[in-house]
Each structure stands twice: as structure tokens, then as C-alpha cells.
Amino acid sequence: MLTRRHLRIKTMQALYAYAQSDLSDAQLGLRRLEDSIKGIYELYLYELRIFWHFTQFMEERLEIERGKQFPNRLREAQLANFLTLPFVAQLTSDDEITRAWEQHRILWGESADVLRAIFFAYWADWGETLYWNSPELQIQEDQIAHIRQFYRDYLANNTELHQHYESLSMHWSDDLDAAQMMAVQTLQNARKNRPVLVSLYRDKGDADFAKELFLHTLRHQAEWQERMASKAKQWDFDRMAPVDRTLVQMALSEILAFPEIPIKVTIDEAIEISKQYGSPKAAAFVNGLLDALATELKAEGRIQKLGRGLIGA
């Protein structure tokens, strides 16, 4: 499931896009934000679909092994054992996953050649040498550990696969880490024989977080810009990097609109996101401006936090 940081990043991107496109329809901007977040779920389903294709590849390897004049009986038994594991069945034929693939039309189609190249590279390294020729049949825990290693070593950081995702959606290069976290959780669930499909949101609070943050920031945009301009005397407000400006405005809205989130958490999150998406000096700029503006809002009695110590935290 998505973390609050993922949701903050998607909200920041949506606010930036809204400002740059001169949109005046907040609901249209909100729909684009929601579509962008749903796109992470589709990317996650593409990642899961890879395991289905992987088992198809392994079935081909098994048939090839059986058809050899001098088959490797150990490798043949290993492959057959792997393909009948409950863990594998949960990843590739679970009813809930299958319905999600159908609902979202998750098909690799001709692009499956990208996957096959990865599978053949894996087989050259492991299939005909180390893992599948070990002296004893692997127990399920060993098989699960190996699949996780396969995912980490051959899929998670594969440049060709990442380029393919970017060709499907310009946002997916930023979304991949979130989708991969969800895929790893699915592997964990299958290992523990739990429902394998991971929800996009942890709870309703997370489901509403990005929407409320987006709309609150738009409603208070004029006020935030005025306050920022008054505090940033050594900078020309109009020359501030748009992403930096967006992050500060969004953080101010988070400080006001979410009483359960400590101020320090909001500021720290804005700083960390600025390191990845902001200008070279964004972290110091965001930190200094938010600290000054939060102090001002506290003095005005605008900040209402739930729980002892949250205002100063």
C-alpha cells in the first residue's frame, strides 16, 4: 500500500501540473490526481503479471527438459516441484489477482519479449548451473527466497524494463518504487498464505489524504503566496523554483488541515521531497521558509493540533 510520502509526491506533482497548465477547474485537477494515483496500482499489477509469465517460461523449461535425449532428472524434478508449490499458485492464479488483471486490462502482449529476455538471462545464470541443479529438492522456503532474489536481481533494477514502463506512462519512473513495495508485500503475503493482493490505501484516512491536501492547497494558494513573498525578502518570489513554491504551499496546508500530523513531520517530509524534486538549494529554502511561516501561524492561533506536544513536534 502507498505511504503518506508517496501520496505527498503525487499531490505535489498534481499541484505543479495544475499551476503550469493554467487550469481553473479544481475538480478536473483532482480527477487527474486520482487517475495518477490509480496508475500506481496498475503498475503494481503489471509487476505481478510478470510472475505469471515467469511460470509460463518455467513450464517451457520443464517441457524442454523432458524432451531431451538425456534429460537432467534432478532439474526436471526441481522444476516440477516448483510449479506445484501453493506459493506459486497464489501468485499466478489467485482469483482476486486474476479479476484485477481482467478489470484493469493488464496484458503484456507483444511487450512480453522484454520479459523473455530477462528470463533467458536468469536461466543462463541460474537455470542451467547453480540453483536448479542443487543436490536436493528445495523446500518451499528456499523456493520463496529464490523468487524474491530473482525479483530483486533481475526485475527491480532492470533498465530495459524501466524504459518500457516509461513508454507506457511518463509518471511510472517516479511510481515504480511504490509499485515494487506493493509487489514485495504480495510475495510476503503468499509466503504466509494470506490474501495476496495489496490494497492501494491503508485506510480511509490515507484514501482521503491526497484529495484533501490538494483542494486545501488550491483554496489557500493566494494566502500562501502572499505569506511566502513577505518572508522571502532576499528572494524575488516570482523567481522561486515552481516546485519549491508548490512544496511550501502544500506543507502549509498540511500543517493547518491535518491536526493529527505533527508540524515537524510535515516539515521534514517537505524537506526530503525537496531533495529529490526541488532546486539545488531547495532543502534549506523549504526548511527556513516553513519554519518562519509555521511560527507565524502558531502566533496567530491558526494551528490546532490534536494531542500533547504536536504543535511543537
The predicted structure's pLDDT at residue 66: 92
Burial zone of 40 (CB within 10 Å; 0-12 exposed, 13-18 middle, 19+ buried) = buried
Largest CA distance in the chain: 84
172 or 216, greater pLDDT:
216
| Gap between the Cα atoms of 142 and 137, Å rounded | 10
**pLDDT higher than 60, residue 308:** no
Q: What is the pLDDT of residue 201?
A: 94
How many beta carbons lie within 10 A of that of residue 76, not counting itself?
18
Give the contacts of 12 (CB within 8 A, at least 6 positions apart): 243, 246, 247, 250, 273, 277
Could you identify the residue written with the cell 519479449?
A: 113
Task: Give, as one character, the DSSP assignment of residue 109.
Answer: G
Q: Pick the more confident residue, 212 or 129.
A: 212
Give 129 or 24, the one with higher predicted confidence. Answer: 24
Do residues 224 and 248 lie in contact, with contact meaning Cβ atoms separated by under 8 Å?
yes
pLDDT at 232 exceeding the cut of 80 = no
Q: Where in the chain is the domain with CATH 1.10.940.10?
A: 220-299
pLDDT at 313: 40
Q: What is the pLDDT of residues 147-163, one digit of tens each?
A: 888 999 999 989 999 99
CATH superfamily, region 220-299: NusB-like (1.10.940.10)
Selected residue with higher pLDDT from 198 and 130: 198
Q: At residue 305, does pLDDT exceed 90?
A: no
- pLDDT tens column, 280-303: 888 988 999 999 999 999 999 998
Least confident of 9-23, 120-134, 211-225: 120-134
pLDDT in tens, 85-95: 888 888 898 99
**pTM listed for this prediction:** 0.88
The pLDDT of 55-62, averaged and rounded, is: 94
